[in-house]
Structure 1
């Protein structure tokens, strides 16, 4: 039977927040630790502890010390925000041998009825784990998948800003002089950026001069972001090939799709216990829509991880166009009365089943993790 502390710990957004977000009034030990959740989640002592000079331990070390000294050596700790402000605490607890469970946000109806505070959040997190509602294991974030996630954050931002720079350049060319518009007509994005970056405006006396300066600056920015995105793409491809080369073998799954799969699954794929759980996580599990005479029908799930869902959708579209077994399957299901949306839903489920068996850890790895 699992053991829990008297009042389980639920991390708030302020536990590992930067110093600028922490309270400035440092009169007690909880504020010196940078969190008021420690005393809210634990039983507040009857007497105020005496302040001792010298540095104070971080809040996650204080929490583990209290677990060992007050309650038991093995606990299950429900934690909120394991992927953001609670990542440091989650990593420390896992290294210390404690089981960490993602508590999630409390129910909105209960929050509206009972209010919100650190004490109530801690109690709701403990009740969710004890009732069996919170069972998700957080990502370990200590391997290649975490490295891919960090690179993808920078890559996606570079691509987004590169697209914005090109849109701005083309919008400003509408007001450019006729000679410049004729020179840039029909050019590709790379040639357009190269041509505008080569502009050499000498003066700054008329609106046309300012326009040339602005176009030259935007073109140089686009070139820099394009080189940065290509460099990050190569690094992501190298990490994907090193972490899970088997994901690149199926038809229609490229580096981008494989990277998105690894980001969602994490460095501990054993936390996803079945292919149905992975389908639910990706928003591919069908949702029943039966009512009255429409019993047995399902619709596409609009929840889950939308980036992974979009990546699996692109894989399905590629297979529907170029993969001969998939083309035959689409023809057979179409003759059976299925619509295109329903066929795509079925194909996405097949792809996620194939992906699950590819990322499933080896039996030796699974036994070591358990």
Structure 2
């Protein structure tokens, strides 16, 4: 009997370092997270601050960035870490992804040297948690329509507006906030203890329950001139950060799918139906074979994109290919696994429905499936269908 990805010989495509990082993250997840996942999900809470310090101790926060206390691993190794984190829960991977690929990446790529030195070392250790404020209540897929504004007042900036669906917002020490200025859209490094800043947590979620999701309210937040990113204006800044986060999702979603499939195979082998194992029926094996095939194809795509990124050749259109395919297929696998588990599949004794609910959010954040379809369509035709 082989595990699904063993059929594809995936281990032979990884370096020793990549396998070591993958195995380290998997062991951490098994020891630290898995025993508590059902409780965290059921209670809609996660010990984000404690976990951030532990994840920082492992070198997972901003792990693919260079300098300032970051590990400087390959992009592929980062992707494999995301896969193992999301095999536990999408909320755990989101914590790491938002910290490293959105907040830390934004400061590393677009921040001043002063901003980098102030925040990145503490964020790499998990001492400081970051969030990324781009999406607004009325502007998600169209971030260029944002209403949050920053106006000059003497040497200072004053921010007014609101952001929505912000992971880590209520536990963050620093927020990267994008706002409209007279010079164009600009990013700001905002300490969350600044007067006028608040981050009420969003409750009653049916998805990503083991994750902190918040609104950001900026009510006359006054910042010094040094809080602004110095050299980027327009959407180029935030979109470059989204590409980083989407790359992690390309791998991460496969972790959720793999966990669903592993749990389902185990269940089907043990569950007796009409006096023989559920796994012995042709219909069950056909479902398992099709799911293993899509999981393996998604993994090969993810690894290919990882190699392109490590070579400095990955294009945003290609990230859209990976995000669209792998999240869509992962959600399909989770739903199909639920049919094999039957009624048992709706309880937290098994991870399948939890993953399926989480993947409903992953399907639409960092760009909906429709947005990625249009990105790919534009690449194929040379015509933009966004406007």
Answer whether TM exceeds 0.5 for this pair.
Answer: no
TM-score bucket of the superposed structures, by smaller chain: under 0.3
Structure with bigger RCO (C-alpha 8 Å, 6+ apart): 2
Normalising by structure 1, we get a TM-score of: 0.23
Which has the larger Rg? 1
